């Protein structure tokens, strides 16, 4: 039965992943740096409150992306396993 729920959740999680990717790309383009590099270098000393606010939001979208990716991988594992194992008769 978990398989049927997994199919339904796949679409939702794929949508969350796509939105998170879109937001991450937006901030990377806006600041011309990846979040990974920004974390390594730190915020510039002259960063204004808006950049600090964006950084917090950007970091949140990274967490959302990572969680959605992990969930999607798990769901695909369930669905793939169900497609390989024949149903009991």
pLDDT given at position 85: 52
Read off the pLDDT band of 83 (50, 70, 90): low
pLDDT given at position 66: 98
Question: Cα–Cα distance between 67 and 13 in angstroms, integer?
Answer: 9
Q: Taking residues 59-79, report their average pLDDT.
A: 94
Q: What would the DSSP string read from start to end of 3-40?
A: HHHHHHHHHHHHHHHHHHHHHHHHHHHHHTS-HHHHHH
Are 28 and 34 spatial neighbours (Cβ–Cβ below 8 Å)? yes
Question: What confidence tens digit (pLDDT) does each residue in 7-66 have?
Answer: 788 999 999 999 999 999 999 999 999 999 999 999 999 999 999 999 999 999 999 999
- The full set of domain ranges for the chain reads 2-84
pLDDT given at position 3: 64
pTM of the predicted structure, to 2 decimals: 0.82
């Amino acid at each position: 039965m978990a398989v049927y729920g997994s199919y339904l959740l796949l679409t939702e999680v794929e949508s969350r992943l796509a939105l998170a990717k879109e937001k991450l790309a937006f901030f990377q383009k806006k600041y011309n740096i990846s979040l990974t590099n920004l974390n390594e270098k730190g915020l510039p000393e002259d960063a204004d409150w808006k950049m600090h606010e964006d950084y917090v939001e950007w970091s949140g979208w990274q967490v959302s992306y990572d969680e959605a990716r992990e969930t999607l991988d798990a769901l695909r594992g369930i669905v793939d396993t169900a497609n390989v194992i024949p149903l009991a008769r």
